[in-house]
Amino acid sequence: AGHIQLDSRPVLPTTDGNENITEADAFHARQSLDPAVEYKMNHQRRGVALIFNHEHFFWRLTLPDRRGTMADRNNLKRSLTDLGFEVRLFDDLKAEDMQQKIYEASMDDHSNADCFVCVFLSHGEDDHIYAYDAKIKIQTITDMFRGDKCQSLVGKPKIFIIQ
């Protein structure tokens, strides 16, 4: 057996025991954090931001179109670009193509980047997000960026935004 590289820090405890931190929990946790343990954000580049935008879906899924999502996509692209991210946009990808793009990003060398951002603008349910033609388990996506799979992001923020 080999050594498994642990990733960054343990999840902060929340008031309800959930691993997903709410804004209020994050604010209160921030007050008690030691400034010496903040993320280093002075690498050569900010990092990559993937935006997966899904407006239309395969008819068999019987999902409605997401009107207005192009405005959200464009606003996010502008904001993330202004923050210094290399933004990569993808519209209405099939599940296989979406997973391939995410896998490719997980294989990139992020050693000179501050962090990584991945945004999903789509329908979803429970622990899944919809691509054009099928749903994908969110954990399948986030697992690609675990410390043992994406060494160059160990100790760096990996931010997943799901709308």
Chain segment 115-141, per-residue pLDDT in tens: 999 999 999 998 999 999 999 999 999
CB under 8 Å to 122, separation ≥6 — which residues?
52, 53, 54, 66, 129, 130, 131, 162, 163
The confidence score (pLDDT) of residue 22 equals 63
- What rounded mean pLDDT belongs to the chain? 87
Is residue 158 packed enough to be buried (19+ CB in 10 Å), middle (13-18) or exposed (0-12)? buried
- What is the rounded average pLDDT of the residues 41-52? 95
pLDDT for residue 91 is more than 90: yes
Whether 88 has a pLDDT exceeding 60, the answer reads yes
Q: Which CATH class, in words, describes the domain spanning 23-162?
A: alpha beta
End-to-end CA distance of the chain: 39
Residues 5-18 have pLDDT tens digits of: 556 555 555 455 55
Confidence of residue 20 (pLDDT cuts 50, 70, 90): low
Tell me the pLDDT band of 37, cut-offs 50, 70 and 90. confident
